[in-house]
A and B are shown apart, each in its own frame.
Chain A
Amino acid sequence: MKRDRRIKKSLNFSRVEVLRKLLRKAKKYLPIFICSMVLAIITVSGNLLIPLLIGQAIDHIAGAGSVDFSSILRLLIWILASIGSASIAQWLMGLCNNRMTYGIVHDIRDEAFRHVQKLPLSYLDSHPTGDTVSRMISDVEQLANGLLTGFTNFFTGVLTILGALCFMLSVNPLIALVVVAITPLSLLAANLITKHTFSMFRVQTETRGEETALIDELVSEQKLVQAFGYEERAQAHFDEINGRLRSCSLRALFYSSLTNPSTRFVNALAYAGIGTIGAIAAISGRISIGGLTSLLSYANQYTKPFNEITDVLAELQNALACAARLFELIEAPEQTPDPVPDKLKHLPVSAGSIEFENLSFSYSKDKPLIHNFNLNVRSGQLVAIVGPTGCGKTTLINLLMRFYDPDSGRILIDGVDTLELSRDELRRNLGMVLQDTWLKTGTIYDNIAMGKPDASIEEVVAAAKASHAHAFIKRLPNGYDTQIGEFGGSLSQGQKQLLCIARVMLARPPMLILDEATSSIDTRTELQVQDAFQKLMRGRTTFIVAHRLSTIKEADIILVMREGRIIEKGTHTKLLAQGGFYAELYESQFAH
């Protein structure tokens, strides 16, 4: 049941719709496309002329002593000319097709990536990374393969069919009709097969996706699997999916590979038909032997494109399935756009006063989290967010940074509704250190300078010194130019954290959001980092998801959260006096 539902999900678009979208993306390649068409016509006519010439030449080789050498020579020169021009045209056509295909694919990838930058966090939080990556990489690759075979074979194929038909009619209309009568069989067979395999390929793609997700999980967390002696059950789970993949792949592969034999069979029938009827006609002199030879060649040339076109159709089926998944990504609704320039308000450097006005928010409609929340934070104040683990403290960060937008109510910074600011400007005013340290591939310098790409090396070093990262950076092989691999590579958790702090230290935004920032820093330098933070926080409005009692006590406002809701707010003394949940939390600190 579950599987079926997932299959339907990727069927948001019909095949025709996907094709139309694809054509829209290809629009700007129209000139190349026209070139390719012209070259295709040259290629095909050159190729088609040859059997006719060869047939005529063979007629001049009637038997011993009756060979007309001068006519043959003339014909052979013609053959040489046509094959020469056809070969060159075919090569140029290949270049055009490459340019179109890789161009389109390049454009789509760029567009997909740009789109991902604008997708709301809610989309990215609810779609596995692996799935999005596979849409942007392997689905695009398969689409490219499909398009390339499509461009290369489709038009030459159609032209060859039409051309061969004309030539055959000119040689012998009766036999031409025999060919025309038989070939629809080939199309019918191919059509039947592709129709049959489309759904098989889809099931295969889905099952493969399921398996890849499991592989991703089992491999990345292999240590955990081993620690829990979970290997055998993991293997069994995998083998179950693997078994399903086996049967659906076998069906997809086998049925799709029947296309070739079937069309070849129909061709062979056509060949036998022409051979027999042509030979009988030749006896009564209605056709020459050379003419029959040309016809047999044409029959091959005429039917071969049917093969190719059906191949192309099979490939296109797969490509369209992939394109559909790709368009699902590209057309996923973007986050609400920033206001248009003339309605946009500006806040180059905020003074740092923040006001929450009747704010309501929830991740899903059925579970309201924040309801009618009001809070006034004056410039430079320290707001500590406290509460038991998992109480949803990150929700406030999501809202402040506009990773998510409120359902109703407003957040005002210096009296300006954050929805009226551009996200970029808002975020430049807010410095953030998250619990999950994340570094990008690049040098240490690149990572610290992330929020201020034009920073001089002196500024970067100063920021690193202030956040006590300088000492370990200095000891790295290439100092600030040391490359860090994907996901931070060989740096320790604490070192990564220091870099994240240095990043904010350099940008020095007027407001800060700190999420348990110090939880995994080396205890012995924690004091120094605290000191650096104190410096940073001075004069800056700060929201901090706090665990340290000292931080909490210093806070101007404490927000106590529980189960996603803000249940108490006030100062330390006031909240203690209230004797509510905060007091209970505070008491428990002494309990161990």
Chain B
Amino acid sequence: MILCIRVDESQLVHRSVYLANKIAWAAFTILFVIVLNFFLFRILPGDPARAGVRDPRLTAEAQAAIRTRFGLDKPVINCFTSLNPLEPGDCAVNPLDTQFFIYAGNLLRGEFGISYHTNRPVVEVLGERLWNTLLLIGAGQILAIVLGMALGILAAWKARTPVDYGALGFSLLAWSLPTFWLGIILLFWGSTYLGLPVGGKSTPGINYANTWEELVDLARHLFLPSLTYTIVFLGEYMLIMRSSLVDVLAEDYILTAKAKGLNHFQILKDHALKNAMLPMVTIIALNLGFTVAGAVQIESVFSWPGLGGAIYEAVNRRDYPMLQGAFLLLAVSVIVANLIAELLYGYLDPRVGVE
């Protein structure tokens, strides 16, 4: 018995080949991002590595350390002294003794450089912040998926009724709202009328009496950002659920089920939903890039100490090692999450055949 996946209309691919293929491509994409990350920060006019050496916030020792860390006195890559402007150099040098391979080696050792602003290792700062972002995204996504699916099922069941049109109108509006603007509006409303905190993850300088108090404080800080998140994604998930369910409801087997005398609830639950779920999985995976974009905007508005907020702060503080590290971490997370979704999809897809 061999498990296979139908990739195309015509070809059946063995499941292990499918998995290996996906993993290989994710690895290649990560490699591409690593190379891109290096060259963007070397080619573009900013040239942050060099800017860092001149940054007045750093001491002479720190600047010397940067020079060694980045290998700034070495050629960028083999044959090129500098990429900005393109300066041809000596091709005879040891190809491994170049800035690119020093950068790659640093990455392998988990060294992302020192933040110009806080003078702390970037990887340390980002490690703390990753969890905050996951908390925010997790809370927002779960709410959005649950509510979006519920509303989508309702809209599809009541298709072409005021309920449906209302839900459609809401989704269209939610899709058109710039995430950061919705955040600003909710922040304005929440801080003025609900007395909610204006930003951050916890009240500064507070000493919690017990864990419960700490949790309440966290929840009060988390409420507005995750609400923004939920609203932005809710419309999307609802629309997908609705259109995929409406497509399924047009199938003949639904009519058969109805003819058997099953009620609407049974038909929806046992017959329609299972088949309507697959596009949801795809769209949640596709949404990952959007998720990151949302996190950048929401964390910037609410000063949430996450990865997205790190990007915003790094941009405004010209903190290039931080920007480079945050971008790399975000991109790699999305690629890995995307891979997991694709592997999951391989298992969920009913077209998995048995030969």
Binding partners A and B: no
Interface of A with B (CB < 8 Å)? none
Interface of B with A (CB < 8 Å)? none
